[in-house]
Amino acid sequence: MEKHKHCVNCGLSIPPEESFCSQKCKEEFVQKRKKMMRSQQIFFVAMLVILAVYAYTTFF
């Protein structure tokens, strides 16, 4: 079996020096990553707001 890797986005077999099987897969991966990062940021801010409200109502 030849040395190979798998596409980060779709899992297709690709040469070891590549990370994606096509430009389309790379673009899809970038979009998914941006969406995931945005969701994580919103979650983090929401948790900070909840913590701040809890701290304010508890201590003041």
What is this structure's pTM? 0.78
CA distances from 42 to 11, 35, 36, 46 (A): 29, 11, 10, 6
Residue 26 CA to residue 30 CA, distance in Å, equals: 6
Please work out, in degrees rounded to the nearest 5, the angle formed at the alpha carbon of residue 23 by the alpha carbons of 31 and 11. 80
- In 1-60, which residue ranges form alpha helices assigned H by DSSP? 23-59
pLDDT of residue 53: 98
Q: Three-state DSSP class for 50?
A: helix
Write the DSSP symbol of residue 19: S
pLDDT by residue (tens digit) across 2-59? 899 999 999 999 999 999 999 999 999 999 999 999 999 999 999 999 999 999 999 9
